[in-house]
Structure 1
Amino acid sequence: MAARTRGQAVAQQLLDDITSGVFEQGSKLPPERELMTRYGVGRNSLREAVQSLVATGVLDVRAGAGTTVQMIDGSSAITQSFTAAMLQDAAVGEILELRVLLEADAAARAAERAEESELQEIRATLAAYQDAVRRNEDLYARDVAFHRAIAAGAHNRLYLSVIDTTAQLLERFMRAAHHTPADVKAAAQEHALIAHHVLLGDAESAAAAMRAHLVSSNERRNRRDEAASPREADSFPANP
């Protein structure tokens, strides 16, 4: 795992101050210069820290309104847990294990609960992913969109919170990853199988297909890490 940047370290300090009540929920953060002095950093590092917490819903920034500490509900509590884990460089494997459990269940529930508009979104995001594969374009956003469409069909916003948070926190690792044409082809086939079972309303098979996809993705990642140089192995690849 790559070493923490100064911005990540400051984000952890800021998150600690928020969770301990130094900066209360619903309050405005102090001016930028005051925060720079408090944490002993420059403007760029502070802004990196703030943006990382904005991305995970801990902070909210609006033009002319400053930066507000968000209120904590069940969803943002999960978000904060992920944020803290990533800022501490927790093992990626632990987050992947949780996603296997949650996304397999989300796929099953989507097969049972998804409405026609949500099924259409699953079809559309799968088609966009497959089109990007054919065109050899960036797959990251399409991959996230597909998994998000499945989670939306489950009608449980906490599933969406997990996907959104992990996608944002891991983006720089995922985009830096190298994946082979065989990996991409396998992931595309796995996506299609997941969608097939969800669209058929087969909850058990949808869960099994999602679980197999995420486990296979992790196995492909591990194989690449073993073959990579030490520097290359610091990057966390996306699905595939």
Structure 2
Amino acid sequence: MAGNLKGIRQILLAEQVEEQIYEYITQQGIVTGERLPNEFKLAERFGVGRSTIREAVKLLVSRGVLETRRGSGTYVREVIPSDLDPLNLRNVEDKVSLAMDLVDLRMILEPGIAELAAYNATEEEIKILFEKCDDTERRIREEEYYIQSDIDFHTHIALCSKNKVIEQLIAIIETAVLMFVNITHRQLTKETITTHRAIAEAIAEHDPIGAKAAMTMHITYNRSLIKEIKKEKRIVYD
């Protein structure tokens, strides 16, 4: 338990520093292609260890804000424009509560979307779904960046539902998860592999009940971890 709490504290600190670095980029007017100060200077500026800076930078890389160039440093790739933040989540300070709100919304929507996909997915769409499932699994096993692949998997399920409104809505929600609340992916790799496979197989078998149940389980894992992190945040900061 102690080790788990320590890991959660590290996540929370990295999340805080991630936002501070992002604010630093925007407030200092650092533009695309410009290099950030090295991790020694960033650690000194934000009063944390270099390992925390590295974790925060990884989060910003996963959001597409930064990129690392071997032997050269860390560069601004793209500061998130307002049109990629249609839910206006950029300025929400409590990212853990935001994560819970988003996962609750996903719980309302995505099991039903998986159910629709099981009814409506074509053989070609199912083939693509398994390709996306395989890609995410490969990236996880090889310890590569996989979050965008994970999002592509969920967005494709929305496409399989044959509901245009759902397709657009899920793309927005999943992008918000990527940009603003990337706090669960690093701890749920095993569960992601298992539940993604179960979702894809149920959709392939045109089993709406199975697809809905598998998606519910997938999001439940995410919600449980966020709930644990939120509880730990109260312990640390209250």
* TM-score normalised by structure 2 residue count: 0.59
Structure 1 residue 155, shift from structure 2 partner? 0.8
Match for residue 69 of structure 2? none
2:115, 2:211 within 8 Å by CA — same for their partners in 1? yes
Alignment match, 1:114: 121
The verdict on how the C-alpha distance between 1:220 and 1:115 changes in structure 2, with shifts beyond 3 A counting, is same
Q: Distance in 2 between matches of 1:101 and 1:218?
A: 12
Whether the 8 Å CA contact 1:140–1:174 is kept in 2: the answer is: no
Code of the aligned partner of 2:224: E
Deviation at 1:142, TM superposition (A): 1.1
Deviation readout 1:40-73 (Å, 9 max, x if unpaired): x97949999x9432214xxxxxxxxxxxxxxxxx
Among candidates 159, 163, 173, match of residue 166 of structure 1 = 173
Partner of 2:193: 188
Q: Tell me the alpha carbon deviations over residues 10-29 of structure 1, each in whole angstroms, 9 at most, x when there is no partner.
A: xxxxxxxxxxxxxxxxxxxx
Q: 2:150 aligns with which of 143, 160, 178?
A: 143
Which letter maps to 2:227?
N
How far apart, CA to CA, are the structure 1 residues paired with 2:169 and 2:30?
26
Alignment match, 1:54: 83
Asked if 2 retains the 8 angstrom alpha-carbon contact of 1:126 and 1:191, the reply is yes
Q: How does 1:78-89 map to 2 (within 5 A)?
A: 80=86, 83-84=87-88, 87-88=91-92
Q: Does 1:93 align with 2:100?
A: yes
Write out per-residue CA displacement over residues 74-93 of structure 1, whole angstroms, 9 at most, x where no aligned residue: xxxxxx4xx13554557432
Give 5+ residue unaligned stretches, structure 1. 10-40, 57-79, 232-240
Counterpart amino acid of residue 133 in structure 1: I
CA distance in 2, matches of 1:177, 1:105: 22
The alignment's TM-score, normalised by the length of structure 1, stands at 0.59
Q: Give the Å deviation of 1:127.
A: 0.5
Bigger drift between 94-103 and 123-132 goes to 94-103
Deviation, 1:158, is: 2.2
- Residue 197 of structure 1 aligns with which residue? 202
Q: Secondary structure at the match of 2:88?
A: helix
For structure 2, which runs of at least 5 residues remain unmatched after alignment? Answer: 1-14, 33-64, 66-78
What is the Cα deviation at residue 2 of structure 1?
5.7
Indicate if the aligned counterparts of 2:99 and 2:177 stay in contact, CA closer than 8 A: no
Match of 2:225 in 1: 220
The alpha-carbon distance between structure 1 residues 84 and 45, as it changes in their structure 2 partners (threshold 3 A), is farther
Structure 2 CA distance for partners of 1:115 and 1:224, relative to 1, 3 Å: same
Q: Name the structure 1 match of 2:216.
A: 211
Give the structure 2 partner of residue 33 of structure 1.
Answer: none
Contact preservation (8 Å) 1:187, 1:217 = no
- Contact 2:114–2:215 (Cα < 8 Å) also in 1: yes
Q: For 1:134 and 1:191, how far apart are their aligned partners in 2?
A: 14
C-alpha displacement at 1:211, in angstroms?
1.1
Shift of 1:226: 4.2
Structure 1 CA distance for aligned equivalents of residues 177 and 131 of structure 2 = 24
Pair 178,196 (structure 1): closer, same or farther in 2 beyond 3 Å: closer
| Aligned equivalents of 1:52, 1:230: Cα separation in 2 | 33
* Count of residue pairs the alignment pairs up: 173
1:159: Cα distance to partner? Answer: 2.0
- Which residue in the other structure is 1:15 paired with? none
Distance 1:178 1:53 in 2: 25
Q: Is the 8 A contact 2:118 2:203 kept in 1?
A: yes
